[in-house]
Structure 1
Amino acid sequence: MTANPAPNAAPASESAPSSLIIEDGVCVAMFAYDVGQHIDLNAVERIVGGQSQRRGLKKRRGSPRHFEFDPAPITLTQDIESIEVAGRALEPQADLTLYDFGAVTLAYRIDLRGPLGALVDIGVELYENAALLASSRKQVEAMMAILAPAVRKGHVAEFVEDYCVYQILALRDHPLERAVRSGGGIFAMALRADREPLSDQAQADVLGSRLSFGQDDTAIVDWNGAILLDADSDDGLAVLAYANVELLEMRYLDHQLDRALEIAWEATQARGWTAFLPGAGAAEQRRVAEFQIDGALLFEGVNNAVKLLGDQYLARLYRLASDRLHLPDWDASIMRKLDALDRMYQKITDQRAAWRMEALEWVIIVLIAVSIILPLMGLK
């Protein structure tokens, strides 16, 4: 069965009816970090023993085995400090998911049971929440210190990407699809982290990015978060978490390539007489080559971590999230920079070869001059 995107929805009411009560639901606040060039997931399992869990996708809804993580990431559960968001305490444990290409996601959970309208306050307080950001970095750094032997070129980069997913599993006395009809304004305000009702145009922009599989489920995906109205949405959560990780890695790689291009540019500039010394420019050439290799490995690792074939629901959900996060634009930008770096590396190589040839010519000229002058001076 093929999933079909929901048609662009007209703006819903600005507030949800008081009768809409979330009976079962959770908000998952995710923070993604780059922690190294590669994580040996088998080594992680050996270090943590029985505390880890390999999490693939469950293949529900008749989806073919064409959407799968390769290799499956590992999830660890950590105890966390007590933090409140909008008057609600976070669950006492958080999940840390590790991907083999050197990224991790720390996921906090907040119980959503209560009025649907409370999503707005939660969304506003989660936006750029300093306490959660500091806590997430502290948790990741502590775990990476333990897992250091399993991480190649380990570090915790300054870059971080956060994303919030509101999983609404059941409404009291109402089917889930009722929330789509009546709570659209609330969803839009929560996803855009704004307590003021959004304009019709802004609501349409948020609610238009929707995907449904059956009559009682809907995914609304925006750039800052998503709503999953579904009694069984763990696979969708895993897909959205991966899309957020991919955005983080694309941002990080783009920054690294900018640095590499600056180094390559400096290496191509005139170096005076030092350019003719043995080994001149070799260090810059090695650094540029290292950036090339690391960049290509990261780009391929991230883009090949998920197998996307066919037209099933999860693949379409990924493409929807990818479009909202502008991942194709990031991919195109990175490909251009990798190509530019390759051309500059070739120019550096050619330039060094020219310098060596020029230096050799001067050595030959000096030797010829010496061989002529010495006999004239009566010296042998």
Structure 2
Amino acid sequence: MSVKILKGSIIFNTAFDVGWEINLAKVEETLLSAEKKSSRFRFSKDPRKAIIIKEAPIKIDLPQEEITILGKKYKTSVYSRVWDYGVISINLEIPIETGSSWEELVNIAGTLETDPEIEKLSIRLKDNLKASIINHIKNPQEWDYFEDYITYFLEGLDGVSKPLELFEKADIAALILGENEHKLSTMSSLPITDNYIQYYDDDLAIIDWNSAVLIEPSGNRDVADVIEFSLTHLLELRYYDYMIDKKLDELYDIINGENKGLKRVIKTHYEKIARESSQNYVDFSDFTAKVENSLKTVGDPYVATVFRSCAEQFRFDDWYQSISRKMNTLFQITQIFQGEITAIRSHLLEIIIILLIALELIPLGWQLMDYFFPR
């Protein structure tokens, strides 16, 4: 018996970096005055017992959109979240038709992986929302890159009595990777299917680097929310890595340029970069503190396990190590050249002092000449 979906949806998350920081209190005021429906993010579990959230993002319900997939039109629910560390996430929730087979869902997944229209729609929705809150964004900017993720949220299945039976009766890896043309090898499938999490025996979470399958008969959205939360952190880590690369490239260009001798003394390239690198240290420390404080757990609840799984799939540790290594390189190089500038300026100061002394001695020399060789 083939597996069919009785109830479910596809959640398409896209996270955008729009600025350095967003004043959520002001955003709430703006939305209330515009009569837009919004609420603060919260998990369904009691946060006092398991989850501690600092600066919870604002969820904004947006008008429905119509999306065409494989010739069918779907009325899609749209909502956004605004995060205080400068991120806007756009979420499109596409309903799965009741009775759809697993194979049909895999075909939809293959289309979503390559469909540019959903990406364009997400960008348009982000631009509209950003324009409405632009006054509350500190240092608004537009980074060319963004992060997207697909979650297959299944609340009811036919053909399996327990979620674990899905591993035998459906090609989960094909759905997660959007591979609808060729059958995946066991070598490709095992790393995905082996990485699953369960809390109750009737739920299941299989999280990979670009999509996830969640089976939640209760309709609980905690796991889906943690995935979105993790996606925004991945975006910020990528942005910081990009920013530091840019600073290093700028420094290398200056080193390889013609800033030598007095030009190097007069110009303040190295001083400027040294100041900026120090500021980057402060900013990155502030960012990591926000990341660490955004989601704290007491004990070892299920949501924390999901977050660790996301962190592993998104390679958070690798990004942190890369950023730390580059920051150390940036700091060391700027310190070396700051020291060189200081030394050159010290020599210049010595020359100036010698010249001033010489100027003071010239009148004395004339007086001595007049004394020994009177006219």
Task: Describe the shift of the 1:288–1:335 C-alpha distance in structure 2 as closer, same or farther (beyond 3 A).
Answer: closer
Give the alignment partner of residue 304 of structure 1, picking from 293, 300, 304: 293
State whether structure 2 residue 86 is matched by structure 1 residue 99.
no
Q: Which residue of 1 aligns with 2:373?
A: none
Aligned ranges for residues 97-176 of structure 1 at < 5 Å? 97-113=81-97, 114-172=100-158, 174-176=160-162
Under a length normalisation based on structure 1, what TM-score does the superposition of the two structures give?
Answer: 0.86
Give the alignment partner of residue 34 of structure 1, picking from 5, 17, 20: 17
Q: Which residue of 1 aligns with 2:8?
A: 25
What SS class does the counterpart of residue 339 from structure 2 fall into? helix
Unaligned segments of structure 2, at least 5 residues: 371-375
Q: Which residue of 2 aligns with 1:12?
A: none
Q: Which residue of 2 aligns with 1:242?
A: 229
Q: Which residue of 2 aligns with 1:11?
A: none
Deviation for aligned residue 1:280: 6.3
Task: Describe the shift of the 1:178–1:357 C-alpha distance in structure 2 as closer, same or farther (beyond 3 A).
Answer: closer
Q: Over alpha carbons, which structure has the higher Rg?
A: 2
Higher relative contact order (CA 8 A, sep 6+): 1
Q: Which residue of 1 aligns with 2:28?
A: 45
CA distance in 2, matches of 1:89, 1:97: 25
For 1:28, the aligned partner's letter is: I
Unaligned segments of structure 1, at least 5 residues: 1-16
Deviation for aligned residue 1:267: 5.3
The percentage of aligned residue pairs carrying the same residue is: 24
Q: CA RMSD in A?
A: 2.5
CA distance in 2, matches of 1:339, 1:286: 14
Deviation for aligned residue 1:174: 4.4
Deviation for aligned residue 1:80: 5.3
Q: Which residue of 2 aligns with 1:218?
A: 204
Give a deviation string over 1:13-35, Cα, whole Å, max 9, x none: xxxx43x2211100101111111
Q: Which residue of 2 aligns with 1:194?
A: 179
State whether structure 2 residue 241 is matched by structure 1 residue 254.
yes
CA distance in 1, matches of 2:265, 2:43: 58
What SS class does the counterpart of residue 199 from structure 2 fall into? coil
CA contact (8 A) 2:254 2:269 kept: no
CA contact (8 A) 1:35 1:154 kept: yes
Deviation for aligned residue 1:140: 0.7
CA distance in 1, matches of 2:338, 2:226: 42
Moved more, 38-47 or 105-114: 105-114
CA contact (8 A) 2:65 2:75 kept: no
CA contact (8 A) 2:204 2:215 kept: yes
CA contact (8 A) 2:44 2:220 kept: no
Task: Describe the shift of the 1:36–1:179 C-alpha distance in structure 2 as closer, same or farther (beyond 3 A).
Answer: farther
Alignment: residue pair count: 360
